[in-house]
Amino acid sequence: MQEITLNFSPQSLTLLNVVLGVVMFGIAIDLRVADFKRVLQLPRAVFAGLCAQFLALPAATFVLIQILRPAPEFALGMLLVSSCPGGNISNFVTHISRGNSALSVTMTAVSSLAAIVMTPLNFAFWGQLDSQLAPLLQSVSLQFSDMLIMVCIMLGAPLALGMWLAARYPGFTAYLRTPLRWFSFAAFFGFVLAAAANNLDAFRQYLSLVLGLVVLHNLIAFGCGYLLARLVRLPDADTRAVTVEVGIQNSGLGLILIFNFFGGLGGMALIAACWGIWHIIAGSVLASFWSRRPLHGTHT
């Protein structure tokens, strides 16, 4: 398949960087040092979630690619999305699902920090194992260290600033919390919709194929979280939190990495943009289902 060309201006990319920074800042002002310490209180649940997020999902994605053999650009997009940490709405979806919100917040905090290393590491590792994807990585001279620095800037800096402000000015950040959460959600969703509108021909031509891949891939992501949680016998509330955290990916980070390292490679961007919309729909459906289901067991 020939490379798909998308219409993204430098201003659009700058806007996306700002939006993701706001999203991560909004997550950070909800985090406290205690959220990281809670790992010691919920070791089994956090361990299961991180294994599902950074081990099982990328590995399952690689297997899916070997089975379906999508176009290399699509496959790279799938690998990159699977290597990203949980998305910004996972805590909200977990709350609606009647899951363990404390565990969800903890996983968001830990996975966002772990992603600074694990996102570029997973993407480079699994990408190099595929004979069709490795040449694409080599053609852009992708360096692990370059992606590591970029992810550190996009995740680490907003997280550090948000947590510092929350500790230093708790009243101010408490006032910001709810409007910032809704603004960041609307801003990212609006950006993806605007990008789709500006590239309507490409979306019309490839949406049916991309959507099928994204739906199946997202189902596998939710499945990885659910199966790992069940494997270690987590109670229902913890299982729901882990499932949502793995199924909701930070596709905004994926888009930024695509435009910074792959020049906005169209097939990759279509996958990440479609993820940005679909996981909201899938998460909402799952939350609606679980919100009406009773919980069994107690928190770990």
Give me the domains of the chain, ranges plus CATH numbers: 10-290 (1.20.1530.20)
Amino acid 42: pLDDT: 75
**Other Cβ atoms within 10 Å of 250 Cβ, number:** 32
Tens-level pLDDT at each residue, the chain (300 residues):
445 555 555 566 677 677 777 777 777 777 777 766 766 777 888 899 999 999 999 999 999 999 999 988 899 999 999 998 887 678 778 888 888 877 887 888 788 888 888 888 899 899 889 888 888 777 655 565 666 777 777 777 887 888 888 888 888 888 887 787 777 767 767 776 776 676 667 667 777 778 899 999 999 999 999 999 999 999 998 999 999 999 998 887 887 788 777 765 677 888 888 887 788 889 889 988 998 888 876 554
Angle (CA) 285-288-293 rounded to 5° is: 125
Whole-number pLDDT of residue 1: 44
Q: What pLDDT score was predicted for residue 95?
A: 80
Cα separation, 286 vs 180, in Å, equals 24
Q: Which amino acid is at 184?
A: S
Measured in degrees and rounded to the nearest 5, phi and psi for residue 177 equal -55, -60
What is the rounded CA–CA span in Å between residue 120 and residue 108? 18
Beta-carbon contacts of 255 under 8 Å, excluding residues fewer than 6 positions away, are: 16, 269, 272, 273, 276
Task: Say what the pLDDT of residue 2 is.
Answer: 47
